[in-house]
Amino acid sequence: MFERHKATGTRGLGFVTGFGLKGGAVGSTVAHDAHNLMVVGTNDDDMVLAANALAEAGGGMIAVRDGKVLALLPLPVAGLMSEEPAKTVAASVAALDRAWKDLGCDLHSPFMTMALLPLACLPELRLTNRGLVDTVEFRFTELFVEK
């Protein structure tokens, strides 16, 4: 998770499960509540490509694998909206849905699921641009816990 509004350089790192990705990476600037740049992936190279492509596009949603963009929905208006016709946006959303499936994800609407990962008012752990937050204890927590 990378802060993208004020160039603070803050970022949070974490691990997620449940998306079923077998390869590649996905990214989005639709990430509640702050709508920062979030990337989930299986390897650094694809994650970097996803992040950089979204930054270049002014925001949006993307799926990449093996160094290639599989699908991209540019959202240049605040990283949340498009000025393109609805048919164009719908085609991009359909391509993103196919790309998620190609990457191994079988969730319904996986970008919406991903967009909730940073929402710090939901329990139990949330990833923000400032770090991993334990929303039950209302404190930042370490990525690794020693037992």
- Confidence (pLDDT) at 128: 94
Per-residue pLDDT, averaged over 76-86, amounts to 97
- Confidence (pLDDT) at 81: 97
Structure tokens of 29?
Answer: 């600037």
Work out the pLDDT band at 139, boundaries 50, 70, 90.
Answer: very high
* CA pair distance 45, 48, nearest whole angstrom: 5
Work out the pLDDT band at 143, boundaries 50, 70, 90.
Answer: confident
Structure tokens of 24?
Answer: 């590649």
Tens digit of pLDDT for each residue in 23-75? Answer: 999 999 999 889 999 999 999 999 999 999 999 999 999 999 999 999 999 99
